[in-house]
Every structure is written in structure tokens, then in C-alpha cells.
């Protein structure tokens, strides 16, 4: 019962944490030649993770990695699997650049920083929502 009560925002916290890492990686590699910016289709991933709430966000132009509908492919024996990294398998996709870059890098640092900030605000909002829900449960148990 409590899992159902908190599940959407608990799942959102996990996914937003993973998205933070992806966006930070994009920002860190803004000057790396041939680096391809990645992201996740957050609303779809949350819905697949069991969350029922749909978020109104701008639709991202994402392309599946290696043409595989967003599934990561191991192309080298030294690649880390999701089991090795301790995370769950979240489909990451390449972001389509708005402007071509001479060095092949698809990161727009300003847009990535804006996405990072928005993701952080939404993460904090989910934390506050969970906090208020837990406080409500505590008050109900204490009969306040």
C-alpha cells in the first residue's frame, strides 16, 4: 500500500538521478571531438517503470543507439554492463543536434546546462512531494 502511495515519485527520483549523471556527462564532454550527446525519454521511461503520471515536457529529438530503439549494445568486451555499474537498464538515446559542429560533437552546452537545472528542480520537487506524503502518513498514524 505504501509502495503504491509513493511509487511514482520514488521511481522518478531514481530516474532523475540517472538522468543527472547522463546530462553531467554531456556537459563534461562538451569539448570532446565526436562526442554524441545522450539523454533518456524521461516520461516514457517513467511510465515503463511503473509510474502512472505523465509529465508535460518538450519532446526530445532522440535517436536509438545503434538503431536499436534506445537499447545499448556492447560492441567491445571492455564495455561495462548495467550489472557492473550497479544501475538499472535505462534506454539512452543520442540527441539530435540543432546545429552541426565541425568536430562532430553534438553537445550544446547551454541547452545541456538548462536541462540539467530543470532536472534538478524536478528532482527537488519529487523529494518535497515524498516528504509531504510521509509527513501526512505520520500525522495520520498519530491521529493528529
pLDDT of res. 110: 94
DSSP structure string for 25-82? HHHHTTTSTT---EE--HHHHHHHTT--PPP--PPP-EEEGGGSTT-----STTSPPH
Q: Which pLDDT belongs to residue 53?
A: 41
- Chunk the chain into consecutive blocks of 10 residues (it has 144) and report each block's average pLDDT, rounded to whole numbers: 72 90 95 92 77 40 44 52 48 84 92 96 93 89 80
Single pTM value for the model: 0.67
Q: Which domain holds residue 59?
A: 2-142
Number of domain units in the chain: 1
Q: Are 107 and 29 in contact, with CB atoms under 8 Å apart? A: yes
How far is Cα 28 from Cα 16, in angstroms, rounded to an integer? 18
Give CA–CA dist 54/141, Å, rounded: 30
Amino acid at each position: 500500500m505504501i509502495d503504491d502511495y509513493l511509487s511514482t515519485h520514488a521511481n522518478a527520483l531514481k530516474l532523475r538521478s540517472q538522468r543527472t549523471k547522463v546530462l553531467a556527462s554531456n556537459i563534461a564532454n562538451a569539448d570532446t571531438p565526436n562526442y554524441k550527446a545522450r539523454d533518456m525519454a524521461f516520461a516514457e521511461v517513467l511510465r515503463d517503470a511503473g509510474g502512472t503520471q505523465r509529465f508535460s515536457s518538450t519532446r526530445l529529438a532522440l535517436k536509438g543507439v545503434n538503431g536499436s530503439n534506445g537499447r545499448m549494445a556492447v560492441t567491445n568486451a571492455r564495455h561495462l554492463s548495467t550489472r557492473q555499474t550497479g544501475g538499472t537498464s535505462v534506454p539512452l538515446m543520442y540527441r539530435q543536434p540543432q546545429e552541426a559542429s565541425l568536430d562532430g560533437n553534438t553537445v550544446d552546452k547551454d541547452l545541456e546546462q538548462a536541462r540539467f537545472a530543470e532536472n534538478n528542480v524536478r528532482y527537488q520537487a519529487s523529494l518535497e512531494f515524498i516528504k509531504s506524503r510521509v509527513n501526512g502518513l505520520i500525522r495520520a498514524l498519530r491521529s493528529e
